[in-house]
Structure 1
Amino acid sequence: MDLKAQIQLLIDNAPQDGVTPQLVTAIAPVLSAIARKLRHSQYYILQNMEQSWVLTTYRDRANPQLEKRMIYAFPRIQDVPLGSSAGLDPQLIAAPIPVTHILFQLVAMEPVDSIVFFETPGITTDSIEVRRAQVQHLIHQQLQQNRVKKQIPPDLA
């Protein structure tokens, strides 16, 4: 599915509250710009049976107080690590999710610091980290440019 179709699906599936479809339309250029920097139109995300995404916490060995909470996005189902404890858990599945939908969800996922997109199938060293704070910043800039900020509740982005 191309990026335009993904964005349209986000708009169509947004709550018809008079605000959310307008918000998605306003931030679509940001989501599309980030998505164009990634190689795949969809990625596989590990999630539990309630469809909550699996969060991985990374702690810095040199400074254990520093930690990052990340979600991993894999280019193919074969790339989801089956050897990890997560891969052996029958309560977890790898679901294909359009890239713009992943980016849209990232903005609202408070405990998540970033999503790591693995770009080359079969290789875990080729990845792009997209930080939630950076996406939020770009969306904030976009909303200011579009002057729709007054119509959108400030806690949405």
Structure 2
Amino acid sequence: MNLDQQIQILIENAPQDGQTPKIVAAIAPALKLLSQRLQHESYYIVQTLDGRWLTTTLSNRAQPGLEKVVIYAFPTLQDATTGPLASQIGSCVAAQFPVTHILFQMMALNSVDSLVFFENPNESAKAIEVRRQDIQNLVQDQLRKQRTIPEPKHNSIPPNLA
């Protein structure tokens, strides 16, 4: 499923309250931009049996008090089940998600600092980190741009009508 199809599904699945689909459509360029920086259109996320994404707390070796909470995204099902979370896979499952949906969900996960996307199968040493704060900043910039575009005036009468 390509990125445009993924975005369309996000818009269609948004609460139909008159505002949320418009907001999702407005931030779509930001989600698409981030997604294009990654190699795959979908990734596997390890999640608990009740559907919560599994998080990992990483510590800085140079500064032991410095920690961050991440979610790993794997390019293949095999990588998700044999990678760094393999010891926990017995009580968890790996599920495939479109990349735009992962990035969209990340905005709501306040307890998570970053997504770590493993790009190459069977290679867990090289990954791309996408910080939640960076996603939120890009989305906020996109929303600000949308607000600066003047809306057309539907009720104005052209001056040369008569």
| TM-score, normalised with respect to structure 2 | 0.86
**Sequence identity (%):** 50
Answer whether contact 2:81 2:94 (CA < 8 A) is retained: no
Summarize the Cα distance change of 1:9–1:85 in structure 2 as closer, same or farther, 3 Å threshold.
closer
Q: Is the 8 A contact 1:44 1:94 kept in 2?
A: yes
* Partner SS, residue 72 of structure 1: strand
Q: CA deviation at 1:91?
A: 2.3
Is 2:78 the counterpart of 1:75?
no
1:63-97: per-residue Cα shift (whole Å, max 9, x none)? 22210100000000011143756545432000000
Q: In structure 2, do the counterparts of structure 1 residues 83 and 37 end up closer, same or farther at CA, with 3 Å as the change threshold?
A: closer
The answer for the alignment partner of 2:25 in structure 1 is 25
For residue 94 of structure 1, give the secondary structure of its aligned residue in structure 2.
strand
* CA distance in 2: counterparts of 1:88 and 1:141, whole angstroms: 38
| Corresponding residue for residue 141 of structure 2 | 141
**Structure 2 residue aligned with 1:48:** 48
SS for the counterpart of 1:46 is strand
- What pairs with 1:3-152 in structure 2 (closer than 5 Å)? 3-82=3-82, 86-147=86-147
What's the Cα RMSD here? Answer: 1.5
Give aligned pairs, total.
Answer: 148
Cα 1:65/1:73, change in 2 over 3 Å: same
Q: Deviations over 1:88-129 (max 9, x none)?
A: 543200000000000000111000000000001111122110
Bigger Cα displacement from structure 2, 75-84 vs 120-129? 75-84
Match of 2:159 in 1: none
Question: Under a length normalisation based on structure 1, what TM-score does the superposition of the two structures give?
Answer: 0.89
CA distance in 2, matches of 1:141, 1:83: 35
* Structure 1 residues 134 and 110: CA distance shift in structure 2, 3 A: same
- In 2, Cα distance between equivalents of 1:139 and 1:119: 23
**Partner SS state of residue 23, structure 2:** helix
